[in-house]
Each structure stands twice: as structure tokens, then as C-alpha cells.
């Protein structure tokens, strides 16, 4: 009789032991991966599409007075730098900001004595895409390529870009290209020139 009572006790106790694995809370790990990103595009507001070719033509209509020569009307505007940037954490060895540089490619031909002035307006960013501390700061007065900065040399146009997305189309940094006389006019020669301009969102 004692033996049968003892067995019954063990059978009733086993479910109680199994129930100890469940508690009033539970937890597990979640791994999240966000890669660094650096994307750049140029939108042409005049044609409502990506930039292919920009024509800067010096017209004789602007230079019909003997003894004078004008480049003041030779410009092209409404170009937009669109960009997306996700920077890394400085604590893990990443640089916390980027910049946009511009250069004339080495194979470019460019008229001697002149500069291509690229001026940039303060960034315009879509709602939620970033703020003033992340969208970057344009270089005051823009940059001059040609006589002032020879082909193959990168110069900064927008600095201190952090995590931001500007939006597509007429967003980001608005650009204007203007031809300017830099050196003595005796260097200027008539001709058809082809230059390639490269913008780069650096530090990846």
C-alpha cells in the first residue's frame, strides 16, 4: 500500500516541474544592419530630367560694340544636386560627415584665360530628410574651375554632410554655371571646347 501511494505522488508532481519553464516575461535579441550610403545625382530643372550636356555659348549678339567684350550673360542655371547620405558612427572608426567635391576631368578641353564659376545655394531638403546640421554647408562664392583650378584637381563645394536625403528633382543644392574672365584676355582663343565636370560625394 505504501508503494502505490508513493508512485501516485510522483505522477502528480511532474506537471508542476514542467511549468517552471514559463515565466511572466520573455526576451530575445534583434540584429539590425544599416549600411553606409553615398548617392549623388544631378537634375536639370530646365529640361525636367537628368543632366546630359550643358551648352555655354558666347554670342556675338552680346559683343557687337567695338572695344568691349562681355561674358556676363553666359551662364546656365537651375541645376540641382540630389544626394542621399548615411554616415557611420565615429565611435566605431567611421568619419561622421562627408563633402561634395567637383573637378574638371583630365581629358577636358577648356578655354585658356577663363573660369567656369559654379555657385551653389543653401540646400533645400524634403520634410523628414534632414535638418540644417545634417544637410551640409555650401562654399561661399562657389568654386572656379579652369584657369583658377586646373583639370584633375578636386575642390570642395558642399561640406559637413551627415545622414540626409534631399529629395529628387528640384531639391538639394541648386547650381549655376557662369563663364568668367580670369587672366589676360590675350589667352582667349575662339574654338569649340568640351569639358567634363565630375561631382563626387566623398568618404565611403
Interval 41-55: pLDDT, tens:
999 999 999 888 999
Side by side, the strands of the sheet bearing 98-104 are 137-138, 155-161, 98-104, 197-201
CA geometry: angle 156, 138, 193, nearest 5 deg: 55
* pLDDT > 90: percent of the chain: 73
pLDDT tens-digit series, residues 65-103: 899 888 878 999 999 999 999 998 876 667 789 999 999
Please indicate, yes or no, if residue 98 is contained in any of the structural domains. yes
Number of domains in the chain: 1
Q: Between 62 and 118, name the one with better pLDDT.
A: 118
**What are the C-alpha distances in Å from 151 to residues 107, 115, 117, 143, 185?**
8, 11, 14, 13, 20
Instruction: At 149, list the grid cell.
Output: 583650378
Q: What is the mean pLDDT of residues 179-204?
A: 92
Please indicate, yes or no, if residue 92 is contained in any of the structural domains. yes
Mean model confidence pLDDT for the chain: 88
pLDDT of residue 7: 47
Place of cell 589667352: 187
User: What gap in Å lies between CA 58 and CA 118, rounded to an integer?
Assistant: 17
Please indicate, yes or no, if residue 88 is contained in any of the structural domains. yes
User: What gap in Å lies between CA 190 and CA 111, rounded to an integer?
Assistant: 8
Instruction: At 108, list the grid cell.
Output: 577636358
Which one-letter DSSP state was computed for residue 34?
-
**What are the C-alpha distances in Å from 141 to residues 100, 122, 175, 176?**
15, 12, 12, 11
* Contact yes or no for 77/170 (Cβ under 8 A): no
pTM of the complete model? 0.82
Please indicate, yes or no, if residue 193 is contained in any of the structural domains. yes
pLDDT of residue 91: 67
Please indicate, yes or no, if residue 103 is contained in any of the structural domains. yes
Please indicate, yes or no, if residue 173 is contained in any of the structural domains. yes
Please indicate, yes or no, if residue 150 is contained in any of the structural domains. yes
**What are the C-alpha distances in Å from 52 to residues 20, 46, 110, 201?**
70, 12, 18, 19
Please indicate, yes or no, if residue 78 is contained in any of the structural domains. yes
* Domain limits for position 162: 65-201
Confidence of residue 155 (pLDDT cuts 50, 70, 90): very high
pLDDT tens-digit series, residues 5-52: 444 445 555 555 555 567 899 999 999 999 999 999 999 999 999 888
Amino acid at each position: 500500500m505504501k508503494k502505490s501511494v508513493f508512485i501516485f505522488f510522483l505522477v502528480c508532481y511532474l506537471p508542476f516541474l514542467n511549468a517552471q519553464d514559463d515565466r511572466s516575461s520573455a526576451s530575445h535579441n534583434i540584429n539590425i544592419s544599416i549600411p553606409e550610403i553615398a548617392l549623388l545625382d544631378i537634375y536639370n530643372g530646365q529640361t525636367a530630367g537628368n543632366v546630359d550636356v550643358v551648352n555655354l555659348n558666347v554670342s556675338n549678339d552680346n559683343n557687337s560694340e567695338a572695344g568691349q567684350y562681355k561674358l556676363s550673360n553666359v551662364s546656365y542655371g537651375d541645376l540641382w544636386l540630389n544626394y542621399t547620405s548615411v554616415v557611420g558612427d565615429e565611435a566605431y572608426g567611421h568619419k561622421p560627415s562627408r563633402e561634395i567635391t567637383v573637378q574638371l576631368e583630365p581629358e577636358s578641353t577648356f578655354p585658356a584665360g577663363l573660369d567656369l564659376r559654379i555657385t551653389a545655394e543653401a540646400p533645400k531638403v524634403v520634410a523628414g530628410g534632414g535638418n540644417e546640421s545634417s544637410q551640409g554647408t555650401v562654399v561661399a562664392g562657389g568654386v572656379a574651375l579652369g584657369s583658377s583650378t586646373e583639370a584633375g584637381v578636386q575642390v570642395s563645394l558642399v561640406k559637413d554632410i551627415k545622414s540626409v536625403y534631399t529629395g529628387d528633382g528640384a531639391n538639394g543644392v541648386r547650381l549655376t554655371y557662369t563663364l568668367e574672365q580670369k587672366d589676360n584676355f590675350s589667352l582667349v582663343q575662339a574654338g569649340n571646347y568640351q569639358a567634363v565636370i565630375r561631382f563626387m560625394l566623398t568618404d565611403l
